[in-house]
Chain A
Amino acid sequence: MSALEPGLRLGPLVVDPVDPGAMKVVAILQDDPNPIHWDPTAAARVGLGDRVVNQGPITVSYLLELASRAAGGHAGVLRLDARFVRTVFAGDRVECCGVVMSVDLAAGTAELELNGAVDGHPVVSATATISVTAPGDGRIGNTLNNDVDS
């Protein structure tokens, strides 16, 4: 039986600080040619300040993690649709929260709204569909309040 019900709040999941080392690794993994992710002077050249820029997929991964915790594991996330609102930089503190919008027991799914913010300013928002029948660990209320050390 799922503990998820409409209105249930998810998180916060906190990433503090956003790690520039992770950006370098991801840049290599995805063969990203954009130096704003590893060279602060490149970010400055295009008017983005003096800190390297978090890759969008890393920022989305924070919300994906929040959704997966609600689903009891990554296999329980069926869909995640994210929109980028604002740039995230190395050293930022990203706080991610969400809410269960609806639960369809017949379909075995729940719809979530998820948001990430830096200093109260939205940086990414998403909707997600998760399975409510996937094997969970029964610790939904606890696991959603963990911080993430990046």
Chain B
Amino acid sequence: MAYVVAARGGAPIALVMELLEAEPSACLFGELRFDFVAPLVIGQTYAVDARIVSVKRKRGRRFPVFDRVELRSRVADADTGAEVAVVTQVWLVARSEDPG
């Protein structure tokens, strides 16, 4: 549920892809981390603050050139502001060329 809240409320996948100028076929999920502070509760309203915290150009086997993109979503109780979860995603985005 925390992932759905983070994805829908903070950083819709389509929006992230648009920001990264990436097509779905060029993206792989690399890592996914959940830090839970409190259980999410059905009926509660949550506020999500999502941000891209890093983009690193790398080289690899699956993608010769790719960006390692770290996206972090903080889920908080909308009434109290208390943090309930942090969802960290790492996407691997294939790039066709390496300008650097």
Give me the interface of A with B, judged by CB distance under 8 Å.
26, 29-36, 45-46, 55-57, 60, 64, 74-75, 77-84
Contacts and interface: CB of A to CB of B under 8 A. Distances in A.
A66 B25 CA distance: 30
Given A29-B8, A33-B13, A80 B33 contact: yes
Main secondary structure on A side of the interface with B: mixed
Contacts of B36: 77-79
Interface residues of B, number: 21
Contacts of B27: 34
Nearest to A46: B25
27 contacts: A29-B4, A30-B4, A30-B8, A30-B13, A33-B13, A33-B14, A33-B17, A34-B27, A35-B24, A36-B24, A36-B25, A46-B25, A74-B39, A75-B39, A78-B35, A78-B36, A79-B35, A79-B36, A80-B33, A80-B34, A81-B33, A82-B31, A83-B31, A84-B28, A84-B29, A84-B30, A84-B32
A81 B86 CA distance: 11
A68 B58 CA distance: 35
Contacts of A64: 34
Contacts of B28: 84
Nearest to B28: A84
Nearest to B25: A46
Contacts of A56: 29, 32
B71 interface: no
Contacts of A31: 7-8, 12-14
Nearest to B18: A33
Interface in B2-20: 3-4, 7-8, 12-14, 17
Nearest to B26: A46
A57 B30 contact: no
Nearest to A31: B12
A137 B28 CA distance: 37
Contacts of B24: 33-36
Contacts of A45: 25
